[in-house]
Chains A and B, each alone.
Chain A
Amino acid sequence: MRYTRLTFLLLALAAPLAALANPFEHQLANGLRVIVKEDHRAPTAAHMVWYRAGSIDETNGTTGVAHVLEHMMFKGTPSAGPGEFNRRVAAAGGRDNAFTSRDYTAYFQQIPKQKLEEMMQLEADRMSHLNLDPKEFAQEIKVVMEERRLRTDDQPQAMLFEQMSGVAFQSHPYRVPIIGWMNDLENMTAQDARDWYERWYVPNNAFVVIVGDVDHAQVFKWAEQYYGPLKSRPLPVRKPQDEPVQSGIRRLTLKAPAELPVVLMSYKVPVIRDVEKDVDPYALEMLSAILDGHEAARFSKHLIREQRLAVAAGAGYDASSRGPGLFFLQGSPSEGKAPAELEAGFRAELARIQKDGVADDELARAKAQLVASQIYKLDSMFGQAMEIGQMESVGISYKRDKRMIEKLQAVSAEQVQAVAQKYFRDDVLTVAELDPQPLPQTPRSRAAAPRH
């Protein structure tokens, strides 16, 4: 009996230990870290290279350079000319792209697993050997300006967010848009991009994440072979540029062609700095889920359905970032309701939580969704790689993932009420309003000769 029980216990222990070994991690001598999560459900892999350099690291006059460099990374090295990177990924049956955020720049390929080695070779090559040809730059900067027109200038809500960030933050670099100000793009040079590349694109400022049907030991060998020879360099000192304390409400208005007004309220709140000791960021995450986590959450139930005050109403908060945090409330008033009425409605929802707290079943519901989402996320290899990368990019080890979930599970109703009382104060609030302008237009139409 005893022996059997012991065996059972050992087996029970062994299973979680084996699971704990995955993901696997290996650091090269040049400082590059490689994280591999094996997932053998399908013969594919996601390969991502993350650089800890985003718009947070930019300075005035060259805003947008992190993102411009991201575009230039596809414009060739001495051994793989312009367009060659995309061509080889395509020939491998892969898909590739890249994205720049405030905190990082990341590159990825999704490929059949047989092609992983080739992708590692290509990424290692452009980590240290980019051409940055001025002729290529002259074309690509035009593409980036078109991207700004498409995604910001002609998108009233994106413009509103951009302007709000510039008011909420006065000193911290989160005040500038990731895409950069148009005037900075117009005056950017290939040298600006080169300076950026030389400053930040080194193995000791990067990490590689691979999720898929791969053998981690083999992947580490390839990493040594391709990334291993790259030279590290000391990184510039990163100044904190802490935002001064806000003492009083800030307001702004943006006029743009639209039909519906938009109210965007943002409160300054903390983010996770110490996974173990912090409490408030986890409570804010649960609060966000209670306000806007599902179709019957408070904003939808009260503001849209019962009061009919809004046609749309949501909340947003990201507890992980290198810079300071904001908790957003955003919505559009129903026809006949003024933006001020919706703002008052948002404030009433917050006041209710400050005064009465949240119900146990609301909190339990948010936690049930959290538990399920931990399973659902395993369905996507790319999603798993993204999660590891986003944590690491803000300085939180991916190994703390489970602990963070436990911390979220441990949030109490009292803690949710406490953060509502502590942070939702006018002194740290910025309110942005989109004032919709009618379109001046008269459509005209003409028949055309058939084209050939």
Chain B
Amino acid sequence: MKLFKLFAFLCLGLATQIACAGPKIEHWVAPSGTRVFFVENHALPILDVQIDFAAGTAYDPVGKTGVASMVRSLLEMGADGMDETQIASRMADLGAKLSGGADMDRASVSLRTLSAVDKRVPALDILRAVLASPQFPAETFAREKARTIASLKEALTRPEAIAGRAFWSAMYPGHAYGQQSTPESVAEIGRDDLPAFYRTHYTAARATLAIVGDLSRADAEALAQQLTEGLPAGAGAAPLSDTLLPVAVEQRIAHPAAQAHVLIGLPAIKRGDPDIFPLLVGNYSLGGGGFVSRLMKEVRDKRGFAYSVYSYFHPMALPGPFQIGLQTKKAQANDALKLTREILASFLTEGPSESELKAAKQNLVGSFPLRLDSNRKILENVAVIGFYGMPLDYLETYAENIEKVTVADIKAAFSRHVKPGHLVTIVVAGE
């Protein structure tokens, strides 16, 4: 359901002597009102652009959950006199690719094209049409509505999807982040709901545009204005209402699967909160550091309970979740859950050891260059920085912010953001 993988921004450090050369991000506001973030890079003849709107699923109209996702997918299925076949065929003829989707906060449209003028100009023309003149044809709408309902019904048979949906509903009761589209809510959507949603949310003033690759600054400025000048005017939607912490709850949902799916978590932190640094460093030792985390060592290596076990923070526009997840065979679900809770409880009490803290910093700082070693990765980072209004020096100051974290900082930040009295637990297919 979530199209964007979580990526934390991690930068360099003194332990490893790696230069923290974050990409140089140029920023301006186009005459259309769209905020633009540009990284010029001529190493490859490729141009990537991504435009983001505050038009994710959290903005779905009440009772018609599913509109945001349908608007995003129908954008490229008919625009400015071109039907869906023409749009897709022309893009393929150019070797260009449209992609993107809607997560809770964002709706994104991305284009990857060769940077040669005879390729990029026509590809950008199609992108401009898709952004500014989508037509939401009634026939296409009816078909996509049926496909959406079919895929929702399928998802509702999958243990991982059932668990994920129950988890978000339990964490955000009554809040937009907890809304789930259902076959029934999609059935309520009419074709006219789509252009209405589009006009309200896909506005130039609320858009952010990330441009990375083989283009000059002057061309980037022209491109930014051309792409966004035809977008709807207006202020965009009202901000989402604040989230509340849920009461601790444990839900068990029956399912015939061989494995139980276990999720534990709560709303924890929003983008831009400086506590993200101690939380990321701490979580590395708890369950974020892959094979070297406590959860992995105890749950997987020592007991063989699970193939995958993890924890992470997912900062969003409003407090996004802290989440622990694992899958284990039915009969040992309770043992695995108990163990996981013990590991979390002891981490909350004691924090990481000094040697864990050192290892976490070494990895988070040392791996910085890996997070930015392709145009694609740079684009993802720049788009997030732009959309969430993070400081432009976020990447450059990252290592510094990681390095100064102490065990005391981690304990304090966890106690502020991970309150055991508000943790929700979902077990699908347990015994």
Contact = CB atoms under 8 A, between A and B. Distances in A.
Interface of A: 41-44, 74, 82-83, 86-87, 90-96, 110-112, 114-115, 138-147, 149-151, 153-154, 257-260, 293-297, 300-301, 304-305, 308, 311, 332, 334-335, 361, 364-365, 368-369, 371-373, 375-376, 378-381, 436, 439-452
B27 interface: no
Interface string B150-170: 110110110100000000000
B192 interface: no
18 contacts: A41-B43, A43-B19, A74-B291, A93-B16, A94-B367, A110-B370, A111-B370, A139-B304, A143-B300, A147-B307, A257-B255, A259-B154, A304-B143, A334-B146, A365-B92, A368-B95, A441-B256, A443-B254
Nearest to A362: B89
B350 to A, nearest CB: 13
A44 B21 CA distance: 13
Nearest to B338: A451
B271 interface: no
B91 A440 contact: no
A311 B304 contact: no
Nearest 9 interchain pairs by C-beta? A93-B366, A372-B95, A142-B304, A296-B88, A42-B373, A295-B88, A448-B250, A86-B291, A147-B307
Contacts of B146: 308, 311, 334-335
Given A110-B370, A143-B300, A439-B157, 13 more contacts: A93-B18, A146-B259, A146-B304, A146-B328, A154-B259, A311-B146, A311-B150, A334-B150, A335-B149, A365-B89, A379-B376, A441-B256, A446-B249
B248 A450 contact: yes
Contacts of A452: 345, 420
B310 interface: no
Given A296-B88, A335-B146, A379-B374, A112 B363 contact: no
Given A142-B304, A451-B248, A369 B88 contact: no
Interface string B229-264: 000000000000000000111111111111100000
A440 B254 CA distance: 8
Contacts of B100: none
Interface string B305-324: 11110000000000000000
A389 B407 CA distance: 43
B189 interface: no
A376 B375 CA distance: 10
Interface in B398-431: 420-423, 425
A258 B157 contact: yes
B297 interface: yes
A443 B86 CA distance: 46
A447 B249 contact: yes
A372 B367 contact: no
Is the contact region of chain A dominated by helix, strand, or loop, or is it mixed? mixed
Interface string B254-292: 111111000000000000000000000000000001111
Contacts of B247: 447
Given A44-B369, A259-B156, A445 B251 contact: yes
A418 B43 CA distance: 41
Contacts of A293: 92
A188 to B, nearest CB: 13
Given A258-B157, A259-B157, A444-B254, A380 B307 contact: no
B196 interface: no
Contacts of A153: 258-259
A381 B258 contact: no
Given A93-B366, A371-B95, A375-B45, A114 B16 contact: yes
A259 B149 CA distance: 11
Nearest to A153: B258
A260 B150 contact: yes
A296 B297 contact: no
B109 interface: no
B46 interface: yes
B64 interface: no
Nearest to B147: A311
A76 to B, nearest CB: 11
A311 B362 contact: no
B304 A375 contact: no
B206 interface: no
Contacts of A445: 249, 251-252
Contacts of A373: 95
Contact of A149 (B150, B153, B259, B297): B259
B5 interface: no
A93 B150 contact: no
